[in-house]
A and B are shown apart, each in its own frame.
Chain A
Amino acid sequence: DGGITQSPKYLFRKEGQNVTLSCEQNLNHDAMYWYRQDPGQGLRLIYYSQIVNDFQKGDIAEGYSVSREKKESFPLTVTSAQKNPTAFYLCASTVRGDQPQHFGDGTRLSIL
């Protein structure tokens, strides 16, 4: 089945550690996005990529990094510079044009 796969579902980070969240899609979508969701709040855009080998910062990019080496993959690294990383991270993708974004099931990141 086509879809967006995020892994792992749960992740724990130690102080000073970088961690990488995986997002893979087999929908042949051009654009991919990373959002952060804090409890009781909406989604905020971290980074997005509209084409392979190109990506742009969203509203809250500080402390995060991404890469887009393949169309189907858009991993997010939460660096040690992100001082408050505990949140629910959602990856989304869409074809270009007037189509809605579709979401993966998310990764819940916590600090040890």
Chain B
Amino acid sequence: EDKVVQSPLSLVVHEGDTVTLNCSYEVTNFRSLLWYKQEKKAPTFLFMLTSSGIEKKSGRLSSILDKKELFSILNITATQTGDSAIYLCAVEAQGNMLTFGGGTRLMVKP
């Protein structure tokens, strides 16, 4: 059975802090790993990672995948209150089917 585990479950930081969110997985026929941000409604897509060691970056957010150790991290630098959300990690195995982790709830205090 495919499995995705995220840590920590929740995190409270202050504006300006840097955070690292973790995602480990055990899946057969791995194709890609995705990160989503969920505020109140629809998860919005952040990154799709398919290759080990290649960092993807978008503004203050970055992510990297390690296919040997089966994990990914999502970094957010200089956090802002608008970064407060649930961050979801998902792994695509086959047929565009995603297995999601339980999410990390991030709260950024002013």
Contact = CB atoms under 8 A, between A and B. Distances in A.
B103 A41 contact: yes
Interface stretch (A13-21, A61-69, A79-87, A98-106): A98-106
A109 interface: no
Contacts of A42: 4, 6, 88, 90, 100-103
Contacts of A45: 97-99
B29 interface: no
B48 interface: yes
Interface string B62-97: 000000000000000000000000001010000111
Interface in A33-59: 33, 35, 40-45, 48, 50, 58
B32 interface: yes
A42 B50 CA distance: 21
Interface residues of B, number: 25
Given A98-B31, A106-B42, A41 B96 contact: no
A31 interface: yes
B42 A96 contact: no
A57 to B, nearest CB: 11
Interface in B27-42: 31-32, 34, 36, 41-42
B100 A98 contact: no
Contacts of B45: 100-102
A-B pairs, top 3 by smallest CB distance, nearest first, are A42-B100, A103-B42, A105-B41
6 contacts: A33-B98, A40-B103, A42-B101, A42-B103, A102-B45, A104-B42
Interface of A: 4, 31, 33, 35, 40-45, 48, 50, 58, 90, 94, 96, 98, 100-106
